[in-house]
Structure 1
Amino acid sequence: MATIKPDPNDVNETVASKVHFAELCGLLEKIAKTQGNDKKKRILKDFIDQWRQSHKILHENEKETTDSFYPAMRLLLPHLEKERVAYGIKEHMFAKLLIEVLCLGKDSQDAQRLLNYKAPKSAKADVGDFASVVFFVLQNRCPSRGHLYIQEVNDCLDGIAANNAAKKKDAVRKFIVKLITNMSAMELKWLTRMIVKELKIGLSQSSVLSVFHPDAEEFYNVNNNLEKVCRLMHDPSVRIHEIGISVFSPFTPMLGERASPDKVEKLMEGKTYYIETKFDGERMLLHKDGGEYKYYSRSGNEYTNTFGSNRYDGTLTQYIHDTFKSDLDTCILDGEMILYHAETGTYATKAMNTDVKSTNREGYQPCLHVFDILLYNEKVLTNLPLKERLKYIEKAITPLEGRIIISEHKEAKTNQDCADALNEAIDGREEGIMVKNPESVYRPNTRKGGWFKIKPEYVGGLMDELDVLVVGGYFGVGHRAGMMSHFLCAVAVPPKDGATEPELFYSFCKIGSGYTKKELQDFNAKLVDHWQAFDKKNPPKCIELASGFKEKPDAWIEPNKSAIVQIKAAEIIDSDRFKCGFTLRFPRVEKFRDDKQWYECMTVSEVEEMKNKSGGKLAGGYVELGEDDEPTKKKRKIISRAVKPTLGSQFRAADMSSVKQTSKILEGKEICVINGPISHSKQLLEKRIVECGGSIVQNPGRETYCVVVEKVVFRVNSMIKSTNYDIIKAQWLISCLENNTLIPWSPGDMIFATEKTEKLFQHDFDEYGDSYTIDTSSNVLKDVFTHMKMKSKDELSSENIAEIEDKYFPDESPYGLFRTCKFYLDNNLVINDPSTHIKDSSLDLIALELRFFGAVLSKKLSLDISHVLVDSNDLVRVKELKSERRSRQKKFHIVTPDWIKECMEEGSIVNERAFEPIV
């Protein structure tokens, strides 16, 4: 930076008015080309030091000045400029402005380069980097060096922002002309990146702020005001030891770190901790100063106009003004804003596509759940421990149902306490739980302060996984520039009769996280030759998007050239942005599936079935903790969610590195093991298969001999529907291994047989499974007699009747509605003890209806119960029932008579979760 000399005639001079914008761009160019974070920071530090030295020269005789590093800092961190949130100019709009100002023909080569900057051959520039394309187009149209100072550039940008908001196009054009005619192409490249808020110099926000001042990032997190940070922290030797929180100054709240139930004891060092419900709403900070109120979101956006600035207006303030204690003047409350339905007493979730900030809520009203307080009558509470801060909440407000609530917390100490709380949250269809250290102080915008969030999707083995097909891509920016960084995924429309491979795919979700940079690069390299530009005037016939192309990709790929990705998500929610009509909430990639063919992705009907099965929630199980070798420690029986995405436990193969072949009974046989019994786990069976000369795969293909299954799960049902694989009971494989011989299949070994296998059985076995050629044994004979008994018309089971009804009277037998259900009526809860069953209860009449419609009733809560029916007016045993359910391997549904009524009205079994009582 050149030496600055003060002008005695200029009383308003600033450093920014003396430093050329070209110097700042030269700094950015140098930083961008330098390798290594430390070297980049040293270059930036030299520039800041020179700025501070110039500041001393200009203002050495002034006691106070508002001049600071802010004019440069706002250009170094353009994405932090709240004043420019509504700037209104992105790449495409800026391209059209440049074309207009430069008088380029719309069909000219340079105009097309600007408009189609993501096209790989648009210019000799990085793919998808708009600023590089601008440089390429303007390098022969601009002066070799600009003449504008940093202050002048800021004035122009502010002018563009103000006039763009006022829709004064001519004024906007005037400022852009001034910038273009007074800047070099290199300067315009960096200006473009500042406008689109993507600087791409390889330094993070944290790094830039730390170079300016060691406390700058912490102070910015408190007040979200970049100008205030630069002005008050001009001297790096002056440290800020206490966080300065003040009313009506927005800041980023404290956040929770991810955790899992089996780590809580260690995180809390064995001490007591608090458990709270994790609410599915919008984080909101309420500031109160006398009769004036303001509301700020987590990102610092203000929503006072919605909720109300005083006791007479808004959707919330007018109802809660009188809940504040009379001796309270100022306060800042931290909480979650949720929509509450007064008539039903229920809360809305984000899955219902509701917006707490909207004024159109269809019967819902905003309710603030307060879980922390940071200021009480001008006293800053952030340095007090949480257990002390919570006392101030009760001193500040009186709760009002449906408007402002003090969030409840309970004390816990063990991993099992945490697991039980998470299971209760799953039962209650809640988002998860928060675990907090009672001694934690409040630290804005940090996840390392003693708060932990635990959701079902953070715990491996709890969430259902989905295999979807990549059909579209979006060009990346920043460190992902030059490749596809996000992907449009689809599911298959079930193929028509006779077809083996799907021909049409519906858009389903967009993914952009969960993978490492190396995994992303490898996946891009695999597909790079197959991408085609997406033209909405001539879209591909094999892929259907939502009407209006609401999620249009930059490029698309033929399904048979693409690959499957395995993803996880919190839940399936309704959405009109994708052709399916629903999509995933918080999707992330678990694995790129090289072991699956493109046509093996999930179908629309399969995803819809998952959605209907659990009300959209994808939590497919419960947390179970088991004793470790040390009695004071716990470990999960499920696979924990690692930082790096891995395969789910049901797909994970055994380690075969040390396995040696000892037999040839399975030589040449490729087998897929889905699961096994407790005595023979999936991994053990796979090792024994390899020992016997066979090979294993995690997903069956055309060469697979059979699929081995102990328990029929959702994935197995999908295989059965495909009719492509012989699916065998695990006991057949165990018998082969124990007898060291390959035992031929019999009908009794099969869970599902292909058409080819069925024909072989018809040739060798009668209808009861008795072989024509093989001598029988006592065990086989028992199985045959059992099968004959099941076939007997006089002793058909409920399940057999249901199968017959489904086969011969699919649309004509309403009286078999509950044929496959086994009910326990909670007249009086006595588990596995029928002796005290009370007769003549309120559920007896419903019992007659259930029998009439084919249900089986049990007088005890046996292990094969599928449903427990409870009286809506007597829910005292629901908690006990849920506790019993969590202890069982086979879960049962808890429903009220309303579910029975709904099923009868619909003529089919409806989703039980919506009718499970919540206590």
Structure 2
Amino acid sequence: MADQATPQEETVATYIPFAELCGFLEKVQRKQGSDNKKAIFKSFLEKWRECHTQLHKNNPNVKDSFFPAMRLILPQLERERMAYGIKEHTLAKLYIEILGLAKESTDAKKLLNYRAPTAKQEAGDFASVAYFVLRNRCPEKGSLTIKEVNDCLDAVALNNAAKKKDVVKKNLMHLLRNTSAIEQKWLIRMIMKEMKVGISQASIFAVFHSDAEDFFNVTNSLSKVCTDLADPKARLNDIAISLFSPFSPMLGMRANTNQVERHMEHKPFYIETKLDGERIQLHKDGDKFKYFSRRSHDYSSSFGESPLSGSLTPFIANCFKSDVQNCILDGEMCAYNTKTDSLISKGENFDVKALRDEEGIQVCYCVFDILMFNGEKLANRPVRERLTYLKKVFHPVPGRFQIVEQKQASTKSEVVDALNEAIDLHEEGIIIKHPDSTYRPDKRKGSGWLKIKPEYIDNLMDELDLLIVGGYFGKGSRAQMISHFMLAVAIPPREGQHPTVFQSFTKIGSGYSLKELHEYNQKLAEHWRPYKKENPPKFLQCTKEKPELYLDPSKSFIVQIKAAEINSSNAYKTGCTLRFPRLEKVRDDKEWHQCMTTEELDNLREASQGKLAARHAGMNDEGDESPKKKRVVSRANRPVAVAARFRGVDSSEVQKVSEILADKEICVVNGPPGKTKPELEKIVIELGGQIVQNPGQETLCVLADKVSLKLRNVIKSDVYDVVKASWLLECKENERYMPWLPSHMIHTSPDTKAKFAEDFDRYGDSFTQDVDPEKLKEVFQKVDSDNNEEVTPEAMAELEMKYFPQESPLGLFRLCKVYMDSCLVIGDQSTKIKDCSLDLVALEMRFYGAVTVATLEDDVTHVVLDSRDLSRVPEYRNIGRTCRTKFHVVTSDWAKDSIEAGRMKAERQYGASLPTV
């Protein structure tokens, strides 16, 4: 131990030499085996605690922790200390100066060229090189204590930030002149924050305290870990939770319905609705109230610090029972619609923190847990016991102060039913809780809580969370603002990191009103930057479609998008895009880095075959526990090969006979009866052309005879000309390149279509060339087929998107297929109502593009009811669970309000309050 310090400075760090810490590190590095290394650390830690006990006996005012040593053992986690700003080369020059070495000397060159390996040290390990240079030039043992070393390092960090180089140099020289070679080796590693000690951070935390790692994840502070967990018997649950001090809440681990029974250990469990609000913890002590968010932001000024202020406290202060002095509650802050007596999704264009009881919407706090009751901490109590305390705290008030309902269950089928009910009510999902689970702040995996959302199960949702990365200037009423947005998905980052690269995916221009567009523009105005094609931003990957403006992802926000399907497209980097995308809501509950990833998009596209239609969960549905892990399927060992019908022809065996197709690249998909794909490819090569198996930028055309799945995707991309195989045979027969005619085409690209428009009418009749009987017959057939062709709602929607990109005024319900519940039930009788109000609603919806049907068909998207008779809602929901796609059950107010708003309103608000099964 070092010399005695003055009473005012007495701490353990003042008494323990730095040499002792370095000796401990040296032993750990040399010892083999994790358990042996941990035993050495445990011995050092016990000596530290014994020293503290002795000091405390002599001076009860001594307050100390293991932090001075821990910050040196785990320098990479030391957030309280700033960066040193020192590299190996800087230290090398300091050593040369302190030791008075000649610049051309062997030792000086070793320090400056430390990356060159030798037999005595690791390549690139500057600390090891310095040790061999210093070992004969330094004292055997240094004179500095752990406190003195920390003081010097703090001074180096502080003065480096202030750019006081002379003071930095003075402190470093003091450290180097007063330590041994071994001490300097470890000091260098502490400064470089690369200890190479062979013992993990988790192992060190585990030896120090069983809750140390979890507590560090909650606080990100080594000093708090060492101070608050100085007593090995202390528990994280009790330490992390204290009155008026925010803590990271307990979280649910994502799961699917197949995993519940296993995680719940095949015992009964609780099911709760996962509410769509803001996670808020309420701290109360007498008439003092505090509200903290999931990320520990204080929103007390919004909700009310006393019974006389805020949007919530005045309404709930008198709800607490008379014997409650203080408590800590955990719950969800939601918005409540007093007209429909239902909770509202927070994506419905409002901020719950800014609500002030306007237009029938008010703040409602929904409580699902309690962590303190009259000074007693409850985190270590099982959840079933905490729920009994919760009922002792306050008198619930519907729409203001509610307890989230828990249902007891024990089987997968009950979980599936609960999830389907949540889907019907447009809730986010459900939470499953083990009755014996304690409350563990910031814990997710293995916590005993599971969260199940529809998107965790394959092909169950039709909504995508995408990030705004680009913008386009508007026209007409939307001039002078950004009217359209480019949306992107993220390339999955490394675990624990945020994504840094995003891929363009789609363009959105509908689903929001002019007022909402103004709000988006104001929110993003200062962050837009011009997009320069010659110098694009590094984070954004684009192909043909490029935005006019872009913004940094961290300055943006996520939007929830609904669409009909995912189509192939080379206009976007993802290789696909959305058909009929519509903005559903802004995801204020998600950070910018939580948007959909390319991997999740690929999984969704594969599972749904491109179709995006919500449905109900079933007993056989599966989903990944982690979105980053794919299911592994065992396969029989067999050579990898391409089916014969898909293989390309071997060009080495084909003799070129002409230059008709010279320098022309063609992709053959299939051929007519009697001509296989390889045979057509052989003809292309004989005529001097080149063959590719997938079309690219240089491809002249795609050759085919019938529309296959692959060809359908090519056509949807609207990039390539798809030509009938008969054209190639004509070229061969006539021994010359035959210009394309409309009759040759299966699909025409925009450029070719424009060229045809100059030379042919819409039926393929040439403006300049005479027609023979065969061609005239083809023209007449085209006239007949076009006149008999049915114009589908999808085709109309395509036209509206083309000519009314800001949202068609009369195409509001274009993609809706609606069944009107035009019956009134009186007793056991059901009769069709004459002049029913729904008849007028149906006419209005048809006027705005909807298709109404007389029977409840499988592809119906909405069932509309009269609010006076909701008796058949449970029946419709039961029917819906057997349909291929899920339909929305709403009241006629949804249609009326959508027409008034000029955009389709989210159905949740009009269906959540309807009776359920």
Range of TM-score over shorter length: 0.5 to 0.7
> After the TM superposition, which residues 325-724 of structure 1 pair with which residues of structure 2 at under 5 Å, given as runs?
325-338=321-334, 367-447=364-444, 448-462=446-460, 511=490, 513=492, 515=494, 577-578=551-552, 583-584=557-558, 600-601=572-573, 610-612=581-583, 620-622=612-614, 634-636=619-621, 640=624, 642=626, 644-646=628-630, 657=638, 664=645, 668=649, 720-724=716-720
- Distance in structure 2 (CA, Å) of the matches to 1:625 and 1:249: 41
TM-aligned CA distance change 1:79 to 1:38, over 3 Å: same
Amino acid at match of 1:461: N
Tell me by how many angstroms 1:14 deviates.
1.4
Amino acid at match of 2:317: H
Deviations 1:396-417 (A, max 9, x none): 1112345432112223333343
In structure 2, the partner of 1:868 is: 863
In structure 1, the partner of 2:103 is: none
Amino acid at match of 1:210: A
Secondary structure at 2:819's aligned position in 1? strand
TM-aligned CA distance change 1:263 to 1:660, over 3 Å: same
- Distance in structure 2 (CA, Å) of the matches to 1:423 and 1:275: 13
Secondary structure at 1:73's aligned position in 2? helix
**336-345 vs 702-711, greater mean Cα deviation:** 702-711
Matched, 1:917 2:911: yes
Matched, 1:838 2:836: no
TM-aligned CA distance change 1:240 to 1:614, over 3 Å: closer
In structure 2, the partner of 1:264 is: 260
Tell me by how many angstroms 1:260 deviates.
0.7
Work out whether residues 325 and 398 of structure 1, in 8 Å CA contact, stay in contact via their aligned partners in 2. yes
**289-298 vs 72-81, greater mean Cα deviation:** 72-81
Matched, 1:825 2:820: yes
TM-aligned CA distance change 1:767 to 1:820, over 3 Å: farther
Tell me by how many angstroms 1:218 deviates.
6.4
Tell me by how many angstroms 1:18 deviates.
3.0
Tell me by how many angstroms 1:254 deviates.
2.9
TM-aligned CA distance change 1:355 to 1:890, over 3 Å: closer
Secondary structure at 1:862's aligned position in 2? coil
TM-aligned CA distance change 1:341 to 1:17, over 3 Å: farther
Tell me by how many angstroms 1:440 deviates.
2.9
- Distance in structure 2 (CA, Å) of the matches to 1:707 and 1:392: 73
Work out whether residues 5 and 58 of structure 1, in 8 Å CA contact, stay in contact via their aligned partners in 2. no
Tell me by how many angstroms 1:452 deviates.
0.5
In structure 2, the partner of 1:208 is: 204
In structure 2, the partner of 1:881 is: 876
Work out whether residues 491 and 602 of structure 1, in 8 Å CA contact, stay in contact via their aligned partners in 2. no
TM-aligned CA distance change 1:548 to 1:135, over 3 Å: farther
In structure 2, the partner of 1:73 is: 70
- Distance in structure 2 (CA, Å) of the matches to 1:663 and 1:622: 38
Secondary structure at 2:206's aligned position in 1? helix
Amino acid at match of 1:635: N
Tell me by how many angstroms 1:333 deviates.
1.9
TM-aligned CA distance change 1:870 to 1:377, over 3 Å: same
Deviations 1:399-454 (A, max 9, x none): 23454321122233333432343344345443332111234333444332321012
- Distance in structure 2 (CA, Å) of the matches to 1:664 and 1:718: 19
Secondary structure at 1:419's aligned position in 2? helix
- Distance in structure 1 (CA, Å) of the matches to 2:319 and 2:15: 55
Higher relative contact order (CA 8 A, sep 6+): 2
Work out whether residues 276 and 435 of structure 1, in 8 Å CA contact, stay in contact via their aligned partners in 2. yes
Tell me by how many angstroms 1:837 deviates.
3.7
Deviations 1:342-362 (A, max 9, x none): 788776767579776679999
- Distance in structure 1 (CA, Å) of the matches to 2:311 and 2:801: 56
- Distance in structure 2 (CA, Å) of the matches to 1:282 and 1:193: 41
In structure 2, the partner of 1:484 is: none
TM-score scaled by structure 1? 0.59
Secondary structure at 1:287's aligned position in 2? strand
Amino acid at match of 2:396: P
Work out whether residues 276 and 434 of structure 1, in 8 Å CA contact, stay in contact via their aligned partners in 2. yes
TM-aligned CA distance change 1:21 to 1:857, over 3 Å: same
Work out whether residues 15 and 54 of structure 1, in 8 Å CA contact, stay in contact via their aligned partners in 2. yes
- Distance in structure 2 (CA, Å) of the matches to 1:841 and 1:258: 46
- Distance in structure 2 (CA, Å) of the matches to 1:437 and 1:172: 57
Tell me by how many angstroms 1:463 deviates.
5.7
In structure 2, the partner of 1:255 is: 251
- Distance in structure 2 (CA, Å) of the matches to 1:750 and 1:10: 95
TM-aligned CA distance change 1:322 to 1:583, over 3 Å: closer
In structure 2, the partner of 1:273 is: 269
- Distance in structure 2 (CA, Å) of the matches to 1:858 and 1:291: 58
Secondary structure at 2:883's aligned position in 1? coil
Deviations 1:205-254 (A, max 9, x none): 64332121345456778999966764676576x68699566645655443
In structure 2, the partner of 1:324 is: 320
Tell me by how many angstroms 1:256 deviates.
1.5
**221-230 vs 398-407, greater mean Cα deviation:** 221-230
- Distance in structure 2 (CA, Å) of the matches to 1:845 and 1:899: 14
Deviations 1:642-680 (A, max 9, x none): 564449x9xx9999956878865876598999xxxxxxx
Work out whether residues 372 and 389 of structure 1, in 8 Å CA contact, stay in contact via their aligned partners in 2. yes
TM-aligned CA distance change 1:877 to 1:642, over 3 Å: same
Tell me by how many angstroms 1:16 deviates.
1.2
- Distance in structure 2 (CA, Å) of the matches to 1:816 and 1:229: 60
Tell me by how many angstroms 1:78 deviates.
7.8
Amino acid at match of 1:838: I
Number of residues of Structure 1 aligned to a counterpart in Structure 2: 735
Amino acid at match of 1:254: M
Deviations 1:708-758 (A, max 9, x none): 98999xx97896253337599xxxxxxxxxxxxxxxxxx999996658999
> After the TM superposition, which residues 890-901 of structure 1 pair with which residues of structure 2 at under 5 Å, given as runs?
890-901=885-896
Secondary structure at 2:331's aligned position in 1? strand
Work out whether residues 321 and 394 of structure 2, in 8 Å CA contact, stay in contact via their aligned partners in 1. yes
- Distance in structure 1 (CA, Å) of the matches to 2:614 and 2:799: 34
Work out whether residues 467 and 601 of structure 1, in 8 Å CA contact, stay in contact via their aligned partners in 2. no
Uncovered stretches (5+) of structure 2, i.e. residues with no partner: 95-113, 117-124, 130-136, 177-183, 474-483, 503-522, 544-548, 562-567, 588-594, 597-603, 605-611, 650-665, 671-675, 683-690, 725-741, 766-772
Aligned residues: CA RMSD: 7.0
Give the counterpart of 1:287 among 279, 283, 300.
283
- Distance in structure 1 (CA, Å) of the matches to 2:718 and 2:751: 14
> After the TM superposition, which residues 128-143 of structure 1 pair with which residues of structure 2 at under 5 Å, given as runs?
none
- Distance in structure 1 (CA, Å) of the matches to 2:636 and 2:752: 32
Work out whether residues 671 and 708 of structure 1, in 8 Å CA contact, stay in contact via their aligned partners in 2. no
- Distance in structure 2 (CA, Å) of the matches to 1:896 and 1:334: 34
Secondary structure at 1:254's aligned position in 2? coil
Secondary structure at 2:392's aligned position in 1? helix
Amino acid at match of 1:332: I
Work out whether residues 715 and 722 of structure 2, in 8 Å CA contact, stay in contact via their aligned partners in 1. no
Secondary structure at 1:399's aligned position in 2? coil
